[in-house]
């Protein structure tokens, strides 16, 4: 009886400690998520007390006749692919440079990481000033034609501007993850490979990269989720322009819900985004996890 009573007391004690967290998660995630599902099947302007239930009409309209959502999805896909590739390649190259025995490596690490601390809204406004005023001054000083281009007024250049600012702001964060991964690789294995005559290229692709896969998995996962939910830099830098060519899916959701007061429709778009992101990230993590090796 004493043993049973002790086990029961431990279970009750465990439940008392866990219950606040369960309640917090319930109110912070599951209840809003359930409300999100309900409102996605309504026609609601965010004000009326009784939203009109329309079933799957919002989803049908999004998937079959919404040109703006389709264009924003195309932008997000192109942006996401380029962002994931560029940010991971640059961050890995930067990390390989910063793990070397440089006297200024600590200062360089801090310098590359500082932009990540700044809000992307602030970064967007700063770069908007640079593209508008700074490049004009550089054009007058250098005479280079690249600074005379309308970086925020031409669709392709506006796309590159959003991509450039996003990469510049976050490359330091991803490089820190790669630095940690490179430093965790056993150096005796690398030294043995050099003694055996393995070249630097083969050593990187056959030894360094496979043992770095946990960091690659993390960085690709973070880059994927960050690229899909890109919003703040677009809001402050281009405002979705010119002509809506730099509007991401999240920016399109923001417009539908908070500018056009189509809360039900915007919620349906957010549910589609959630499902797509969940499926893609699960596939990405499972594929990359299968390629990880133990040192």
pLDDT tens digits, 88-104: 999 999 998 888 877 77
Residue 233 lies in a domain: yes
Residue 204 lies in a domain: yes
Contact 10, 238 (CB under 8 A): no
Instruction: Give the pLDDT confidence score for residue 109 in this predicted structure.
Output: 81
Domain range spanning residue 224? 67-290
Instruction: Give the pLDDT confidence score for residue 146 in this predicted structure.
Output: 80
Residue 6 lies in a domain: no
What three-state secondary structure class fits 52?
strand
Residues of the chain with pLDDT under 50: 1
Instruction: Give the pLDDT confidence score for residue 227 in this predicted structure.
Output: 92
Instruction: Give the pLDDT confidence score for residue 44 in this predicted structure.
Output: 87
pTM here is 0.87
Instruction: Give the pLDDT confidence score for residue 153 in this predicted structure.
Output: 85
- Give the residue among 54, 290, 56, 84 at the shortest CA–CA distance from 171: 84
Residue 62 lies in a domain: no
CATH label of the domain that carries residue 102: 1.10.3720.10
Instruction: Give the pLDDT confidence score for residue 186 in this predicted structure.
Output: 80
Residue 160: both structure tokens together? 């590159």
Angle 154-160-164 (CA atoms, 0-180°, nearest 5)? 140
Instruction: Give the pLDDT confidence score for residue 47 in this predicted structure.
Output: 80
Residue 33 lies in a domain: no
Residue 234 lies in a domain: yes
- Give the residue among 295, 290, 293, 289 at the shortest CA–CA distance from 217: 289
What is the count of structural domains for the chain?
1
Residue 80 lies in a domain: yes
Residue 58 lies in a domain: no
Neighbours of 36 (CB within 10 A): 14
Instruction: Give the pLDDT confidence score for residue 134 in this predicted structure.
Output: 80
Instruction: Give the pLDDT confidence score for residue 223 in this predicted structure.
Output: 93
């Amino acid at each position: 009886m004493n043993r049973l009573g002790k086990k029961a007391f431990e279970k009750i004690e465990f439940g008392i400690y866990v219950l606040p967290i369960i309640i917090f998660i319930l109110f912070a995630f599951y209840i809003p998520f359930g409300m999100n599902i309900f409102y996605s099947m309504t026609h609601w302007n965010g004000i009326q007390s009784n939203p009109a239930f329309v079933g799957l009409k919002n989803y049908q309209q999004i998937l079959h006749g919404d040109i703006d959502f389709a264009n924003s999805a195309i932008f997000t896909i192109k942006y996401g692919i380029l962002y994931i590739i560029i940010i991971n390649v640059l961050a890995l190259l930067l990390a390989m440079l910063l793990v070397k025995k440089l006297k200024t490596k600590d200062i360089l690490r801090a310098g590359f990481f500082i932009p990540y601390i700044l809000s992307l809204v602030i970064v967007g406004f700063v770069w908007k000033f640079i593209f508008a005023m700074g490049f004009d001054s550089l054009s007058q000083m250098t005479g280079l034609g690249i600074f005379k281009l309308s970086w925020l007024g031409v669709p392709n250049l506006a796309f590159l501007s959003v991509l450039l600012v996003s990469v510049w702001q976050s490359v330091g964060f991803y490089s820190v993850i790669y630095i940690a991964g490179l430093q965790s690789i056993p150096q005796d294995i690398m030294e043995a490979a050099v003694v055996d005559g393995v070249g630097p290229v083969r050593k990187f692709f056959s030894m360094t990269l496979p043992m770095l896969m946990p960091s690659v998995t993390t960085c690709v996962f973070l880059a994927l989720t960050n690229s899909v939910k890109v919003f703040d830099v677009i809001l402050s830098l281009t405002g979705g322009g010119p002509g809506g060519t730099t509007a991401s899916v999240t920016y399109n959701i923001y417009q539908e819900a908070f500018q056009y007061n189509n809360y039900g429709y915007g919620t349906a778009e957010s549910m589609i985004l959630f499902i797509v992101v969940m499926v893609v990230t699960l596939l990405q993590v499972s594929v990359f996890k299968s390629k990880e090796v133990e040192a």
